[in-house]
Structures are given as structure tokens and as C-alpha cells.
Amino acid sequence: MPPLPMFRDSWPQINDAMEEALRQALLGLQDASHGEASQEILRLEEEHGERRSWVWADLGESPLAFALQHLARLAELTGDFRFGGTITEQAERYAQEYWKADDAIVRALAQIERKEDRAAVTAAVRTLARAWLEALATAFQEEWLASPPEQEKETWKPPQGEVLLFVDGLRMDLGRRLQEQLARAGCTCSLTHRLAALPSITETAKPAVMPIAGELAAGKNLTPATRTGAGAQISALRTLLKEQNIQVLGDNDDGDPEGRAWTECGNIDREGHDKGSELPVILDGELTTIERRIIDLLDAGWQQVRVVTDHGWLLLPGGLVKTELPPSLVAMKKGRCAELLPDSSVSLPTVPWFWNRTIRVALAPGITCFEAGKEYDHGGLSPQEVVVPDIVVTRGSPGARNLVIQTPTWRGLRCYITVEGAEGYSVDIRLKPGDPKTSVAMDAKPVPPEGDVSIVVPDDSLEGTDAMIVILDEHGNTAAQRQTTIGGE
């Protein structure tokens, strides 16, 4: 009797042997050139890619096969060395294209839990990406030092109905992932980019992105101060926000959607400092937490949520190379930046401090670090640290930001509503804005050219209940919303 054909995907031993062979092949890339490593990665992808559809992959037995698809993408992306140009050009190129290399590194590392697998992926990432990251950062630094962009501190007021949601360390690749998640959840997101204040550390850059930045002055240890001289710590910053009639919302507070607010969410930066190259494993959870908070705020009646951040970060598994900086030259030192003493002379990139241009800040060149053993850090000058996302999130169609729901008037259980810019849309009243099953109105009403609509809630037991007035586009998507109390306004 002839032997039965062997189906490789049916045997766990075959998958285990192939994972081990892949592990050794990746480890063997440690001393390869970029070209050699790229060619080998693409060959390995052809050999091992099919294993991602095997049953053993579903059981978590093929982590390196999953990491490999992202390494293959990294190999292709890091073959492009089109660096240089103005800071505007380099920032645009990073925000539109080069962030994908960071995303590939993060996603490859996210597949890995075991130490031996991490060593294999680390070897591949360093060979594929280290020189590329170094060249990218160096080109950005050289242009910035030659022609630094103007950056000013200012006090400004968010639009009425907007929440500023601050996320510490929301790098561009994570901003792109958050944008995709929110779009899948039915939100409309516009993502732009801006430049973080220097040095790109929280103490300096977080106050700079707050709407009360113009109320602050220079302080100590690269931290601004209030005009009274008090350090701009969180309590002082929140007081200034409240003085500008900007609500400060706690983790579970919705606030008053009629006004404007500031709130914070996520632990990306803290986890990065704690976990280093293990950070990617928990990023899905962090982004889901941020997504849920944004949707909760929109559900509570806010017209839009603007997601802002202070800085990005560099991540290189295996560690950033150390650059020496004698302690005698600095007033204070962090991983990627240091405040220089007034008479210090260094052969390192230096920039003025955002809050006081007479104070000089030394920066670690390229993607090096003033402290040994760091896999994750920020404070320096690279696109990853400085070119950061700014995301505006609304419900429904892109036209939502042009719709204005004026204060409704209730006469008994009939609600009189005026909506600006909503001709062709319709109005409903719901308990949950995104769920048509929670409609409490007799029926949705089309918005006439003059924008005046009256709508009835037939169930008198709902009087006094909080609900949402929602504006629906032609596809039934929620384009705008406003909180109301049935029978109460």
C-alpha cells in the first residue's frame, strides 16, 4: 500500500521545526548587510508565510511567522533613503509615509512573548532598521539646526463643544492606528501633524500644547512656570485651564458639552519607559482605551474631540548606542537631551529651550542616547519624537463640523430644534446617539431649508430623562449631536 500523502499543516512537529528554523535564520541576520538581510527576509516570507493559515497559528504556536510579515514590510520600507529637504518637507514625508517603518517594527515586536523569539526579531530589526533610523534622524537634525522653524507659545480657546484629549507619547504610527480604529467605529477623523516643542520631553512639550501656554513663563529643570513663579505642575496647569473657562475632566467625567474641556487618557509613555521593547505587546489595549474614551465623550454630547500629544519616541530593540556627555557640563541630563551650564562648550547638536531661548539644550546626535541600555526614549530631535499627530474626531460624515444645533426648547413632550447647515439631513432623539433602536421620537424629521424642526416624544414616562438630539446624514450616520433632557428645556 503506498504511503498516505502527508499534509504538513496537520502536524505540530512540522510547525515547531519550522519555527525553530525561522528563529535561527533571523538570529543569523545579526551581521548581515541591509541588502543581504532584506533578500533573506523576503525568501523566508515565501517559505513560512503559509503557516499563518495553519491551525497552529490560531493556537499561538507560530509567533515568528506572524512577526515575519511585518519584518518583510520593514525590509521594503527601509530600502528607501530619500531623506533631506526642508523641515516641512521632511515632516510631511514622515507623516505620510515613513511612519510605516515604525509601525512595522512595533507590529513585529507585538507578536513576541518568549525571550528567545524576542532575540530573533531584535536581530532582524536592528539589521534592517538601525542605519535607516540613524540616517533619517541625522538629516532631520541637520536641517533643523541650519534653519530652525518658528515655534511660539500662545493662549487660545478651543471651539465651543470641543474636548481636548491629551495622550502622552502618541507617536505618529499610533495616531494612524487610532484613526483607523475610530473610522471602523463610525467616526470621522482628520489627522494632521505638527512639531513638538524642544526638547521633546513631557515637562517642556505638554504645557506647550495646552491652550494656556501663553500664560506660562520659563521655570527650572526644563519645566515652565506660572507667572507667579510656581512650577507648572499638573495642579497649577489645571487651575489655569479653569481660569480660562475650560473644564478639566476626570477619567470618567463627561462634563458639560455646551462648553469646552481638557482631559487626559492613556499610559503609553509611562509603559514605554517601563517596558522598553516589550511596549508593543500592550499597545492594542492602550489604543482601545483611548478609542472608548473618545466615543464616550461623543456619546455624551460633545461636538468633537481633538486628540493632542506632547511628543513621540524612538524604539530600537537591543538598545540605543550611548553618546558620552560629561556631568560637569550640564545642569540636568535626560536620555536624549541635557540642559547645558551657561559656559559649557560641547560638540553636540544644541537648540534653545522652547520656554527660554537663552538656555541651551544639548541633544544626543542621530538616534544615540546619553544613558546606556535604553531601548525606548525621547527628548531628542528626530521625526519620531518631534513630528506628532493632531486628530479631530466627530460622529458621522465630514460635514458634521459645519452643523450647529442651537439650544432646543421643550413644550411638554414636543421639542423645537433649529439646526444650521443641515438641509437634506434629518433629526431624531435617541437615548444612545449611534443606536437607532434607542430612538424615543415618534419619527425622525427631515430638516427644511430654514432649519426649524419640531419633534414629539410620545412616551410621557421618559420626561426628565437625558437623551441626545442627533442629526443624521442621508446614509443614517450620526453627523452631529447635542445633549438634552426630555421635556426639560
Q: What is the DSSP string of 74-96?
A: HHHHTT-----S-HHHHHHHIII
Q: How many whole angstroms separate alpha carbon 90 and alpha carbon 116?
A: 37
Are 66 and 119 in contact by the 8 Å Cβ rule? The answer is no
Are 294 and 186 in contact by the 8 Å Cβ rule? The answer is no
Tell me: pLDDT of 401 over 60. Answer: no
- CA-nearest of 303, 246, 259 to 482 is 303
pLDDT tens, position by position, 329-367 = 999 999 999 999 998 999 999 999 999 999 999 999 999
* Beta carbons within 8 Å of 442's beta carbon, 6+ residues apart: 455, 456, 457, 458
- CA-nearest of 220, 264, 216 to 243 is 216
My answer on whether omega of the bond before 199 falls inside 30° of 0, hence cis, is: yes
Q: How many whole angstroms separate alpha carbon 344 and alpha carbon 475?
A: 64
Burial 464-474 (b: 16+ CB within 10 A, else e): eeebbbbbbbe
For residue 476, what is its C-alpha cell? Answer: 443614517
Are 68 and 44 in contact by the 8 Å Cβ rule? The answer is yes
HSE-CB of 128 using CA atoms within 13 angstroms: 32
Residues constituting the chain:
489
Residue 141's pLDDT band (cuts 50, 70, 90): very high
Task: Point out which residues pair with 155 in neighbouring strands.
Answer: 212
Task: Report the percent of the chain where pLDDT is more than 70.
Answer: 96
Q: How many other CB atoms sit within 10 Å of the CB of residue 330? A: 19
Q: DSSP states of 8-66 as a string? A: GGG-HHHHHHHHHHHHHHHHTTTT--HHHHHHHHHHHHHHHGGGGGSHHHHTT--HHHH
How big, in percent rounded to 5, are the helix, strand and coil portions of the chain?
Answer: 40, 20, 35
Q: How many whole angstroms separate alpha carbon 253 and alpha carbon 309?
A: 20
Q: How many whole angstroms separate alpha carbon 129 and alpha carbon 184?
A: 31
Average pLDDT, whole number, for the chain?
91
- CA-nearest of 421, 425, 424, 427 to 442 is 427
pLDDT tens, position by position, 166-184 = 999 999 999 999 999 999 8
Sign, CA torsion 164/167/171/173: negative
Q: Which amino acid is at 104?
A: A
Which pLDDT score, from 0 to 100, does residue 4 have?
39
Residue 399's pLDDT band (cuts 50, 70, 90): very low
DSSP SS3 for 294? helix
For residue 467, what is its C-alpha cell? Answer: 437623551
Which pLDDT score, from 0 to 100, does residue 402 have?
61
Tell me: pLDDT of 433 over 90. Answer: no
Q: At how many degrees (to 10) do helices 115-146 and 34-48 cross?
A: 140
Report the top-level CATH class of 399-485.
mainly beta
Which pLDDT score, from 0 to 100, does residue 1 have?
38
Average pLDDT over residues 190-200: 96
Tell me: pLDDT of 478 over 90. Answer: no
Which pLDDT score, from 0 to 100, does residue 405 have?
85
pLDDT tens, position by position, 443-471 = 888 998 888 999 999 998 999 898 888 88
Which pLDDT score, from 0 to 100, does residue 387 have?
98
Residue 209's pLDDT band (cuts 50, 70, 90): very high
Average pLDDT over residues 369-387: 97
Q: Which helix (H) or strand (E) holds 149?
A: none
Higher-pLDDT residue of 5, 384: 384
Q: For the chain, first and last CA: distance in Å?
A: 86
Task: Report the percent of the chain where pLDDT is more than 90.
Answer: 70
* Beta carbons within 8 Å of 320's beta carbon, 6+ residues apart: 314, 367, 368, 369, 374, 375, 377
Which pLDDT score, from 0 to 100, does residue 419 have?
87
Are 456 and 437 in contact by the 8 Å Cβ rule? The answer is no
Are 419 and 425 in contact by the 8 Å Cβ rule? The answer is yes
Give me the residue spans of the domains in the chain. Answer: 8-146, 162-317+376-395, 399-485
Average pLDDT over residues 402-426: 85
* Beta carbons within 8 Å of 6's beta carbon, 6+ residues apart: none
Which pLDDT score, from 0 to 100, does residue 211 have?
96
Higher-pLDDT residue of 156, 59: 156
Are 182 and 176 in contact by the 8 Å Cβ rule? The answer is no
How big is the chain by its Cα radius of gyration, in Å? Answer: 26
Q: Which amino acid is at 118?
A: R
Q: Which helix (H) or strand (E) holds 240?
A: helix 234-243
pTM of the model: 0.81
